[in-house]
Amino acid sequence: MREISVDLIRDAVAALAVKANTVVDARVEEALKTARQREESPVGREILDQLLQNAEIARATATPICQDTGLAVVFVRVGQDVHLTGGSLEDAVNQGVAKGYTDGYLRKSVVRDPLDRINTKDNTPAIIHYEIVPGDELTITVAPKGIGSENMSRLYMLKPSQGAEGIRQAVLQTVREAGSNACPPLVIGVGVGGNFEKCALLAKRALLRPLGEPSPDPAWAAMERDLLNAVNDLGIGPQGLGGRVTALGLAIETYPTHIGGLPVAVNINCHVARHETVSL
Protein backbone atom coordinates (compact mmCIF):
# COMPACT_ATOMS: atom_id res chain seq x y z
CA MET A 1 0.00 0.00 0.00
CA ARG A 2 1.40 3.39 -1.05
CA GLU A 3 0.37 6.55 0.78
CA ILE A 4 -0.25 9.83 -1.06
CA SER A 5 -1.11 13.04 0.75
CA VAL A 6 -4.11 14.93 -0.56
CA ASP A 7 -1.99 18.08 -0.32
CA LEU A 8 0.04 16.77 -3.29
CA ILE A 9 -3.18 16.28 -5.22
CA ARG A 10 -4.35 19.83 -4.44
CA ASP A 11 -1.07 21.35 -5.62
CA ALA A 12 -0.94 19.14 -8.73
CA VAL A 13 -4.47 20.11 -9.77
CA ALA A 14 -3.66 23.81 -9.28
CA ALA A 15 -0.55 23.58 -11.48
CA LEU A 16 -2.37 21.56 -14.16
CA ALA A 17 -5.23 24.07 -14.31
CA VAL A 18 -2.83 26.94 -14.97
CA LYS A 19 -0.71 25.07 -17.51
CA ALA A 20 -3.71 23.72 -19.44
CA ASN A 21 -5.09 27.24 -19.78
CA THR A 22 -1.85 28.93 -20.82
CA VAL A 23 0.22 26.43 -22.85
CA VAL A 24 -0.94 25.05 -26.19
CA ASP A 25 0.03 21.42 -26.72
CA ALA A 26 2.90 20.88 -29.19
CA ARG A 27 0.77 18.57 -31.34
CA VAL A 28 -1.91 21.25 -31.63
CA GLU A 29 0.63 23.86 -32.72
CA GLU A 30 2.02 21.46 -35.30
CA ALA A 31 -1.50 20.73 -36.56
CA LEU A 32 -2.18 24.47 -36.89
CA LYS A 33 1.00 24.90 -38.93
CA THR A 34 0.03 22.00 -41.18
CA ALA A 35 -3.48 23.43 -41.54
CA ARG A 36 -1.98 26.80 -42.49
CA GLN A 37 -0.14 25.14 -45.38
CA ARG A 38 -3.22 23.43 -46.81
CA GLU A 39 -5.80 26.16 -46.16
CA GLU A 40 -6.90 27.68 -49.48
CA SER A 41 -8.79 30.67 -48.10
CA PRO A 42 -6.70 33.83 -47.54
CA VAL A 43 -8.94 34.77 -44.61
CA GLY A 44 -8.59 31.26 -43.21
CA ARG A 45 -4.79 31.42 -43.44
CA GLU A 46 -4.80 34.78 -41.65
CA ILE A 47 -6.92 33.36 -38.83
CA LEU A 48 -4.61 30.36 -38.44
CA ASP A 49 -1.64 32.74 -38.28
CA GLN A 50 -3.42 34.64 -35.52
CA LEU A 51 -4.10 31.42 -33.57
CA LEU A 52 -0.41 30.50 -33.77
CA GLN A 53 0.60 33.99 -32.63
CA ASN A 54 -1.93 33.80 -29.80
CA ALA A 55 -0.44 30.49 -28.65
CA GLU A 56 3.04 31.99 -28.61
CA ILE A 57 1.93 35.04 -26.61
CA ALA A 58 -0.02 32.93 -24.11
CA ARG A 59 2.95 30.67 -23.44
CA ALA A 60 5.45 33.53 -23.17
CA THR A 61 3.33 35.63 -20.81
CA ALA A 62 1.47 32.89 -18.87
CA THR A 63 -1.75 34.46 -20.14
CA PRO A 64 -4.86 32.35 -20.82
CA ILE A 65 -5.11 31.09 -24.39
CA CYS A 66 -8.79 32.06 -24.33
CA GLN A 67 -10.80 34.38 -22.10
CA ASP A 68 -13.16 31.47 -21.36
CA THR A 69 -11.02 29.36 -19.04
CA GLY A 70 -13.85 26.90 -18.80
CA LEU A 71 -15.41 24.45 -16.42
CA ALA A 72 -12.69 22.40 -14.74
CA VAL A 73 -13.26 18.81 -15.87
CA VAL A 74 -10.96 16.49 -13.90
CA PHE A 75 -10.26 12.82 -14.60
CA VAL A 76 -8.78 10.93 -11.64
CA ARG A 77 -7.41 7.39 -12.05
CA VAL A 78 -6.74 5.94 -8.60
CA GLY A 79 -4.55 2.86 -8.24
CA GLN A 80 -6.22 0.30 -5.99
CA ASP A 81 -3.01 0.06 -3.94
CA VAL A 82 -3.05 3.79 -3.11
CA HIS A 83 -4.07 5.03 0.33
CA LEU A 84 -4.89 8.74 0.50
CA THR A 85 -3.95 10.59 3.67
CA GLY A 86 -4.81 13.97 5.14
CA GLY A 87 -8.35 14.46 3.96
CA SER A 88 -10.86 13.97 1.17
CA LEU A 89 -9.86 13.37 -2.45
CA GLU A 90 -12.80 15.38 -3.77
CA ASP A 91 -12.06 18.28 -1.44
CA ALA A 92 -8.42 18.23 -2.56
CA VAL A 93 -9.39 18.38 -6.24
CA ASN A 94 -11.73 21.31 -5.65
CA GLN A 95 -9.17 23.09 -3.48
CA GLY A 96 -6.66 22.65 -6.30
CA VAL A 97 -9.08 24.10 -8.85
CA ALA A 98 -9.79 27.07 -6.58
CA LYS A 99 -6.06 27.64 -6.02
CA GLY A 100 -5.16 27.36 -9.70
CA TYR A 101 -7.94 29.63 -10.90
CA THR A 102 -7.28 32.21 -8.18
CA ASP A 103 -3.47 32.27 -8.17
CA GLY A 104 -3.34 31.95 -11.97
CA TYR A 105 -5.80 34.83 -12.51
CA LEU A 106 -8.06 32.58 -14.58
CA ARG A 107 -11.66 33.59 -15.15
CA LYS A 108 -14.12 32.09 -12.67
CA SER A 109 -17.16 30.97 -14.61
CA VAL A 110 -19.06 28.56 -12.35
CA VAL A 111 -22.43 29.53 -10.87
CA ARG A 112 -23.76 27.70 -7.79
CA ASP A 113 -27.21 27.03 -9.25
CA PRO A 114 -28.36 26.83 -12.88
CA LEU A 115 -31.14 29.36 -12.20
CA ASP A 116 -29.97 31.78 -9.51
CA ARG A 117 -26.68 32.28 -11.45
CA ILE A 118 -24.64 33.37 -8.41
CA ASN A 119 -20.92 32.94 -9.13
CA THR A 120 -18.98 30.69 -6.74
CA LYS A 121 -15.97 33.00 -7.31
CA ASP A 122 -13.33 30.23 -7.45
CA ASN A 123 -14.54 28.09 -10.41
CA THR A 124 -15.59 25.24 -8.15
CA PRO A 125 -17.04 22.72 -7.95
CA ALA A 126 -15.14 20.83 -10.62
CA ILE A 127 -16.72 18.08 -12.68
CA ILE A 128 -14.81 14.99 -11.55
CA HIS A 129 -14.69 11.54 -13.13
CA TYR A 130 -13.13 8.77 -11.02
CA GLU A 131 -11.71 5.43 -12.15
CA ILE A 132 -10.20 2.70 -9.97
CA VAL A 133 -7.33 0.92 -11.73
CA PRO A 134 -4.63 -1.60 -10.78
CA GLY A 135 -1.35 -0.33 -9.33
CA ASP A 136 -0.07 2.24 -6.86
CA GLU A 137 -0.19 5.44 -8.93
CA LEU A 138 -2.71 8.23 -9.02
CA THR A 139 -3.10 9.99 -12.37
CA ILE A 140 -4.86 13.32 -12.73
CA THR A 141 -5.96 15.01 -15.95
CA VAL A 142 -7.35 18.54 -15.85
CA ALA A 143 -9.31 19.43 -18.98
CA PRO A 144 -10.83 22.93 -18.83
CA LYS A 145 -13.85 22.99 -21.15
CA GLY A 146 -15.16 26.22 -22.60
CA ILE A 147 -18.92 26.55 -22.83
CA GLY A 148 -19.06 27.86 -26.40
CA SER A 149 -18.02 24.52 -27.84
CA GLU A 150 -19.79 22.53 -25.11
CA ASN A 151 -23.08 24.23 -25.98
CA MET A 152 -22.79 22.92 -29.55
CA SER A 153 -22.26 19.29 -28.51
CA ARG A 154 -25.03 16.76 -29.05
CA LEU A 155 -26.24 13.30 -28.03
CA TYR A 156 -28.21 10.97 -30.30
CA MET A 157 -30.02 7.77 -29.39
CA LEU A 158 -29.90 6.07 -32.77
CA LYS A 159 -31.46 2.79 -33.84
CA PRO A 160 -29.02 -0.06 -34.58
CA SER A 161 -30.27 -0.15 -38.17
CA GLN A 162 -28.86 3.36 -38.72
CA GLY A 163 -25.38 1.91 -38.36
CA ALA A 164 -22.23 3.64 -39.57
CA GLU A 165 -24.15 6.02 -41.80
CA GLY A 166 -26.22 7.14 -38.83
CA ILE A 167 -23.05 7.91 -36.89
CA ARG A 168 -21.68 9.83 -39.85
CA GLN A 169 -24.81 11.93 -40.22
CA ALA A 170 -24.93 12.64 -36.48
CA VAL A 171 -21.39 14.02 -36.56
CA LEU A 172 -21.93 16.09 -39.69
CA GLN A 173 -25.26 17.47 -38.43
CA THR A 174 -23.63 18.51 -35.15
CA VAL A 175 -20.74 20.29 -36.85
CA ARG A 176 -22.98 21.90 -39.46
CA GLU A 177 -25.31 23.29 -36.79
CA ALA A 178 -22.34 24.46 -34.69
CA GLY A 179 -21.04 26.58 -37.55
CA SER A 180 -18.87 29.37 -36.18
CA ASN A 181 -20.24 29.13 -32.63
CA ALA A 182 -17.64 26.63 -31.42
CA CYS A 183 -14.66 28.64 -32.74
CA PRO A 184 -13.36 26.34 -35.47
CA PRO A 185 -10.99 24.79 -36.35
CA LEU A 186 -12.36 22.12 -34.04
CA VAL A 187 -11.20 19.02 -32.26
CA ILE A 188 -14.08 16.54 -32.17
CA GLY A 189 -14.65 13.71 -29.71
CA VAL A 190 -17.19 11.02 -30.60
CA GLY A 191 -18.54 8.40 -28.20
CA VAL A 192 -20.34 5.35 -29.58
CA GLY A 193 -22.01 2.67 -27.46
CA GLY A 194 -22.81 2.18 -23.81
CA ASN A 195 -25.96 4.06 -22.87
CA PHE A 196 -27.19 7.67 -22.52
CA GLU A 197 -24.54 8.84 -20.06
CA LYS A 198 -21.72 6.47 -21.03
CA CYS A 199 -21.50 7.60 -24.65
CA ALA A 200 -21.25 11.25 -23.51
CA LEU A 201 -18.33 10.36 -21.23
CA LEU A 202 -16.71 8.41 -24.07
CA ALA A 203 -16.91 11.50 -26.29
CA LYS A 204 -15.33 13.61 -23.56
CA ARG A 205 -12.54 11.07 -23.07
CA ALA A 206 -11.94 10.98 -26.84
CA LEU A 207 -10.87 14.63 -26.61
CA LEU A 208 -8.00 13.57 -24.32
CA ARG A 209 -6.37 11.36 -26.94
CA PRO A 210 -3.19 12.93 -28.39
CA LEU A 211 -4.19 14.90 -31.46
CA GLY A 212 -3.72 12.86 -34.62
CA GLU A 213 -3.34 9.52 -32.85
CA PRO A 214 -5.75 7.03 -34.51
CA SER A 215 -7.97 4.48 -32.83
CA PRO A 216 -6.15 1.17 -32.23
CA ASP A 217 -9.03 -0.56 -34.04
CA PRO A 218 -8.43 -0.31 -37.83
CA ALA A 219 -12.15 -0.10 -38.66
CA TRP A 220 -12.77 2.78 -36.25
CA ALA A 221 -9.53 4.46 -37.35
CA ALA A 222 -10.83 4.36 -40.92
CA MET A 223 -14.10 5.94 -39.80
CA GLU A 224 -12.17 8.67 -37.97
CA ARG A 225 -10.32 9.54 -41.18
CA ASP A 226 -13.52 9.48 -43.25
CA LEU A 227 -15.40 11.68 -40.79
CA LEU A 228 -12.57 14.20 -40.49
CA ASN A 229 -12.43 14.53 -44.28
CA ALA A 230 -16.23 14.88 -44.45
CA VAL A 231 -16.22 17.56 -41.75
CA ASN A 232 -13.56 19.54 -43.59
CA ASP A 233 -15.52 19.18 -46.82
CA LEU A 234 -18.36 21.17 -45.19
CA GLY A 235 -16.36 24.33 -45.96
CA ILE A 236 -17.09 26.04 -42.63
CA GLY A 237 -13.40 26.90 -42.23
CA PRO A 238 -11.47 28.75 -39.53
CA GLN A 239 -13.81 30.78 -37.31
CA GLY A 240 -16.65 29.85 -39.64
CA LEU A 241 -15.50 32.23 -42.38
CA GLY A 242 -15.03 29.54 -45.03
CA GLY A 243 -12.15 27.31 -45.99
CA ARG A 244 -10.76 23.80 -46.02
CA VAL A 245 -9.89 23.50 -42.31
CA THR A 246 -12.99 23.09 -40.18
CA ALA A 247 -11.42 20.53 -37.83
CA LEU A 248 -7.88 19.58 -36.86
CA GLY A 249 -8.73 16.17 -35.50
CA LEU A 250 -11.48 13.69 -34.68
CA ALA A 251 -11.30 10.74 -32.29
CA ILE A 252 -13.85 8.00 -31.59
CA GLU A 253 -14.11 5.97 -28.39
CA THR A 254 -16.46 2.98 -28.19
CA TYR A 255 -18.06 0.68 -25.61
CA PRO A 256 -20.36 -2.37 -25.78
CA THR A 257 -24.05 -1.53 -25.91
CA HIS A 258 -27.55 -3.03 -25.79
CA ILE A 259 -28.88 -5.02 -28.75
CA GLY A 260 -31.61 -2.42 -29.22
CA GLY A 261 -29.51 0.73 -29.10
CA LEU A 262 -26.81 2.79 -30.82
CA PRO A 263 -26.03 5.79 -28.58
CA VAL A 264 -23.79 8.43 -30.17
CA ALA A 265 -22.40 11.57 -28.51
CA VAL A 266 -20.48 14.30 -30.30
CA ASN A 267 -18.42 16.52 -28.00
CA ILE A 268 -17.16 19.59 -29.83
CA ASN A 269 -14.01 21.39 -28.71
CA CYS A 270 -12.18 24.42 -30.04
CA HIS A 271 -8.72 23.95 -31.56
CA VAL A 272 -6.88 24.05 -28.21
CA ALA A 273 -8.55 20.97 -26.67
CA ARG A 274 -6.95 21.91 -23.36
CA HIS A 275 -5.79 19.15 -21.04
CA GLU A 276 -2.75 18.38 -18.90
CA THR A 277 -1.89 15.19 -17.02
CA VAL A 278 0.37 14.18 -14.15
CA SER A 279 0.98 10.90 -12.31
CA LEU A 280 1.76 10.93 -8.61
Taking residue 114's Cβ as centre, other Cβ atoms within 10 Å add up to 6
pLDDT at 8: 98
**In the CATH scheme, what architecture does the domain 148-274 have?**
2-Layer Sandwich (3.30)
Range list for CATH 3.30.1330 in the chain: 148-274
Q: Per-residue confidence at 278, pLDDT binned at 50, 70, 90?
A: very high
Best CA proximity match to 83, nearest among 155, 30, 170, 5: 5
pLDDT at 44: 96
pLDDT at 47: 97
Cα separation, 190 vs 82, in Å, equals 32
Computed over every residue of the chain, the mean pLDDT equals 97
pTM over cut 0.85:
yes
Q: What value does the mean pLDDT take over residues 151-175?
A: 98
